[in-house]
A and B are shown apart, each in its own frame.
Chain A
Amino acid sequence: QQQVKQSPQSLIVQKGGISIINCAYENTAFDYFPWYQQFPGKGPALLIAIRPDVSEKKEGRFTISFNKSAKQFSLHIMDSQPGDSATYFCAAIHGSSNTGKLIFGQGTTLQVKP
């Protein structure tokens, strides 16, 4: 019940295209859903996050769509650029719990071709 399942494992998109990465969770106590971006040789860095009281959050070219009833959320990268090539992790946490901890998906390696 603590798992977060992420797909696809890898993704190749042409420059200017839309990249879509999906995640699903089971634990209904999760109340914070971030996405982390990781470049080679670096640690993951927080990209964008959403709470379950909204269905969508947009920051620039990055949008999270959240479906509470389906227990799914996804990351959309509009107008994908070669600089977006990285590994993306979804995560979930029961943040309001003092002992909550981030549970990460398996990661998606995105390659944006020029």
Chain B
Amino acid sequence: DAGVIQSPRHEVTEMGQEVTLRCKPISGHDYLFWYRQTMMRGLELLIYFNNNVPIDDSGMPEDRFSAKMPNASFSTLKIQPSEPRDSAVYFCASSSGRGARSNEKLFFGSGTQLSVL
């Protein structure tokens, strides 16, 4: 299994531009999570999906952030318009939905390093 795949690995953009981050979860995993990592705030959960349906988006910082999961093998996190304070590493993670406690063990991708100038 290739694991969770994220693209791009690095993104440099200018303030005001739209940014789209992409994620392919592990095949068969029913949960997908988007996290943001910064030095100041550590790992923050932004949103997570179960069976392609958003379950909890309480961590999404502003309306500028949106996430979609059109099918079981693909998700996007979009920032429009981007701001310098959005600079961070964004991680996607997935977990198996089989049985209880399915969201305990997360498998993370390698992340997207976003720099907004």
- By a beta-carbon cutoff of 8 Å, the part of chain A in contact with chain B is 32, 34, 41-46, 49, 89, 93, 95-96, 99-107
Cβ contact within 8 Å between A101 and B56: yes
Name B55's contact: one of A32, A42, A99 (CB within 8 Å): A99
Cβ contacts A to B, 18 pairs, < 8 Å: A42-B110, A43-B4, A43-B91, A44-B91, A49-B104, A89-B42, A93-B104, A95-B100, A99-B56, A100-B104, A101-B33, A101-B48, A101-B103, A102-B45, A102-B106, A103-B45, A104-B42, A107-B43
Cβ contact within 8 Å between B42 and A32: no
CB distance from A109 to the nearest CB of B (A): 10
B33 / chain A contacts, CB cutoff of 8 Å: 101
Q: Given the complex of chains A and B, what is the CA–CA distance between A45 and B107 in angstroms?
A: 7
B45 / chain A contacts, CB cutoff of 8 Å: 101-103
Q: Given the complex of chains A and B, what is the CA–CA distance between A104 and B42 in angstroms?
A: 8
- By a beta-carbon cutoff of 8 Å, the part of chain B in contact with chain A is 4, 33, 42-43, 45, 48, 55-56, 91, 93, 100-101, 103-111
Cβ contact within 8 Å between B42 and A106: yes
CB contact under 8 A between A44 and B43, given known A99-B56, A101-B48: yes
B91 / chain A contacts, CB cutoff of 8 Å: 43-44
Question: Which of B45, B56, B104 has the largest count of A CB atoms less than 10 A from its CB?
Answer: B104
CB distance from B6 to the nearest CB of A (A): 8
CB distance from B82 to the nearest CB of A (A): 22
Q: Given the complex of chains A and B, what is the CA–CA distance between A104 and B56 in angstroms?
A: 16
Q: Given the complex of chains A and B, what is the CA–CA distance between A101 and B101 in angstroms?
A: 10
CB distance from B36 to the nearest CB of A (A): 11
B48 / chain A contacts, CB cutoff of 8 Å: 101
Cβ contact within 8 Å between B42 and A34: no
Name B110's contact: one of A41, A89, A106, A107 (CB within 8 Å): A41
Q: Given the complex of chains A and B, what is the CA–CA distance between A104 and B108 in angstroms?
A: 14
Cβ contact within 8 Å between A43 and B93: yes
Name B105's contact: one of A34, A42, A43, A104 (CB within 8 Å): A34
B107 / chain A contacts, CB cutoff of 8 Å: 45-46
CB distance from A55 to the nearest CB of B (A): 20
Cβ contact within 8 Å between A95 and B103: yes
Cβ contact within 8 Å between A44 and B104: no
